[in-house]
Structure 1
Amino acid sequence: MTPEHRTPTHRNRLTELFGIEVPVVLGPFGGVSSVELTAAVSDGGGLGSYGLYGFTADAIRPTAARLRETTAKPFALNIWIPTGDEAASLPPQDFSNYVEALRPYFEEVGLPLPDMPDRYMPDYDEQVAATLEAAPAVVSFVFGVPAPDLVEEAHRRGILLVGTATTVAEAVALEAGGVDAVVASGMESGGHRVSFLKPAEESLIGTFALVPQVADAIKIPVIAAGGIVDRRGYSAARALGAEGVQVGSAFLATRESAAVPAYREILHSPAAGETVLTRVLSGRLARGIPNRIIRELSEATETAPFPVQNWLTGRFRPQAAAQGNTELMSLWAGQGAPLIRHDSAADVLAELLAGSPVL
């Protein structure tokens, strides 16, 4: 059959690999993932994803069980790999100083100052064990290459692995490490920049430049991420060599997400047209909509390192969200957010898939 007589299809190596109908992956959200949204994307034919940042093993198991009860389709669980630069502990006086600097925000939402915890993040090995035990169709990783024994055990269990790259070198390292597909995350992406070979500030490559280079450099499927919101972004990503797209902000703005109404309203507003890269909320570089806390902390002489800063601001940010106080929240969003038009996962999927697949 000649090319002009072939029927366009969204099916390709990626859909075959994951056992899904369309090559659309939900971006995993740390803190605002929801079972409802993950299931909605999976039931719509894509790959729903759920972010496990901060989850203990005891929290991972019931979450995976709820996902399996809600959808019979494949879904992914996402884990952050330790990079080795995390601050495992602090002298008590340093912790007290960092807490004191944030006192006004705790007082504003009506919370007492927190005591120093035994640890700031769950044990990574325990997270991995619980995730493999849950046996999702896919486990995706950010901030590194999963260890060889993890790759071997996941594949033994029939679990596919996806890594995330912000540079060509990272994509090559991930392929060499045995993952089954790579997300090429352009600097337009919302949330944390997940670079791991060089500092994030030295790895700010746009989606349009990154995706074709990664597609040329590796043989496994490439999933484009960053600034993809509508049919135009989907078509462009496919034309650049991606076999799928990962979409975050557009799905985050839907009613199925765990983002509070005030957050979703901002994503649908002109304010979404301005995003900044900042370390002040978590200690790691992330893209979000600027608000009062970002402006004020950016003027501070010093903020705590990751994950201490993320833990500290994470004590009051959920309370601020519950109060609808968007000035004290993390409003992660990508540069494509001004293109958001839909408020349901089904409509976002339909819009993306109205784009032209590569024949």
Structure 2
Amino acid sequence: MVGGMCDYGIARPGGRFRGSYARAMFSDLPIPVIVAPMAGGPSTPELVAAAANAGAFGFLAGGMLTPEKLVDQIGRTRRLTDGPFGVNLFVPRERVARDMSDYRDRMRSEGQRYGAEPGCAVWDDDNYPAKLDAVVASRIPVVSFTFQMPSATDIARVKKAGSSVVITVATPEEGCQAAALGADAICVQGCDAGGHRGTFTDTGADAAGGELYGVLAALRSLHAELDIPVIAAGGVVNGADVAAVLAAGAVAAQMGSAFLRATESGTSPVYRDALARAGRGTRFTRAFTGRPARGLVNRFISEHSAHAPVAYPQLHHMTKPIRAAATEAGDPEAMSLWAGRTYQLAEEKPAAEIIESLAKQARDALDVARDRL
């Protein structure tokens, strides 16, 4: 773009178009809505299949699953729908040694509330190689990657299997890097998104992980520069938001919080109740996992955020037993209640009805804009 941000030889005008399959898939969706991958339980085969059957698209969340469970979810989804769907994988970062003794002491005190001991603060690769093998063998139509860019070798393997590659980014600069590496499409995640940030860095004094971009600012920058499809995510919760990102150049809108309360989601009853009450604000925190994520403000976030080191996935493993015990006790104050900034607008009903409502809201919003202009 002007100023040289995307100085990778892939400028839009006259460039070779590499995302034709991805563009065709997403452009041909009857309803340009993508159900985001939501790791930790909310994403289910039933939710992904319901999206596909309603004319939208959905991603299974491969993060935090064992390879065997991922293969099982792929099979279950295929038994529930003939439509295409995707799988999202977390790309591991290099292991970095961290002193977590002080935080472990805090978690011991926290765990005493629920009769739980902190877990072992171990680093692992989330079984990434085995799960990549699984999606390649399963020939998933679209494979998306989050937390880091996959290697060029991994991208080549996925493409050789006939799949499209989507890379999640949080800034225009990251989008340019992903496009240069060979992504077929970019998912740009604005800073209003719930859950873990898709940025390649997890540092930042505000626990947000680097410079923050709203979805429209990042989307417009990338759409003007890149000759591949751009998917918009982050703070997109109703049809008017869908209309806005489509008008700004997105090929589709990816939405997570909008489907947290869907009938088919795996969101726990305690989590659903916290979302339905809609009285909490949201903020970024590293307190649960060691990586910046936006969630509903609760006691755990308020008490521990300032003390949490940059240590993913070590903190995820350390706090997991405490979060599980809080869920079992029905106490939302020590649960990771990931949600986007506009989660209050989401509804509790079947996914197909949510998607139908989104489509109608988007059409109505475009009609209003057309009349206004």
Matched, 1:347 2:353: yes
Q: 2 CA distance for matches of 1:314 and 1:23? A: 35
Counterpart among 327, 334, 337 of residue 340 in structure 2 = 334
Q: 1:338 to 1:130 in 2, by over 3 A?
A: same
Report what 2:214 is aligned to: 206
Letter in 2 for 1:45: G
Q: 1 CA distance for matches of 2:303 and 2:201? A: 30
Q: 2 CA distance for matches of 1:17 and 1:61? A: 23
Matched, 1:312 2:318: yes
Q: How many residues are paired up?
A: 340
Q: 1 CA distance for matches of 2:48 and 2:25? A: 19
Letter in 2 for 1:47: F
Letter in 1 for 2:342: G
Superposed counterparts of 1:107-146, under 5 Å: 107-114=112-119, 119-146=123-150
Matched, 1:82 2:92: yes
Counterpart among 237, 241, 245 of residue 229 in structure 1 = 237
Residues 297 and 303 of structure 1 are in contact (CA less than 8 Å); yes or no, is this contact kept in structure 2? no
Matched, 1:275 2:282: yes
Q: 2 CA distance for matches of 1:17 and 1:42? A: 12
How far did 1:186 drift?
A: 0.5
Counterpart among 294, 313, 316 of residue 301 in structure 2 = 294
How far did 1:325 drift?
A: 1.4
Q: 1:120 to 1:146 in 2, by over 3 A?
A: closer
Report what 1:55 is aligned to: 65
SS of structure 2 residue aligned to 1:110: coil
Q: Which moved more, 1:98-107 or 1:306-315?
A: 98-107
Q: Deviations over 1:35-83 (max 9, x none)?
A: 2111111211111111111223233222222222222211111111123
Letter in 2 for 1:259: T
Per the normalisation by structure 2, the TM-score is 0.83
Q: 2 CA distance for matches of 1:212 and 1:189? A: 17
Q: 1:167 to 1:287 in 2, by over 3 A?
A: same
How far did 1:15 drift?
A: 6.5
Q: 1 CA distance for matches of 2:155 and 2:120? A: 37
SS of structure 2 residue aligned to 1:321: helix
Q: Which moved more, 1:44-53 or 1:94-103?
A: 94-103
Q: 1 CA distance for matches of 2:143 and 2:223? A: 21
Q: 1:322 to 1:20 in 2, by over 3 A?
A: farther
Report what 1:191 is aligned to: 195
How far did 1:113 drift?
A: 4.5
Q: 1:96 to 1:207 in 2, by over 3 A?
A: closer
SS of structure 1 residue aligned to 2:358: helix
Q: 2 CA distance for matches of 1:348 and 1:60? A: 26
Per the normalisation by structure 1, the TM-score is 0.87
How far did 1:197 drift?
A: 6.1
Residues 270 and 338 of structure 1 are in contact (CA less than 8 Å); yes or no, is this contact kept in structure 2? yes
Residues 237 and 245 of structure 1 are in contact (CA less than 8 Å); yes or no, is this contact kept in structure 2? yes
SS of structure 1 residue aligned to 2:187: strand
Matched, 1:31 2:40: yes
In structure 1, stretches of 5+ residues that fail to align are 1-11
Q: Which moved more, 1:136-145 or 1:51-60?
A: 51-60
Counterpart among 247, 251, 255 of residue 239 in structure 1 = 247
How far did 1:13 drift?
A: 8.1
In structure 2, stretches of 5+ residues that fail to align are 1-19
Over aligned residue pairs, what C-alpha RMSD do you find? 2.5
Report what 2:12 is aligned to: none
How far did 1:303 drift?
A: 4.3
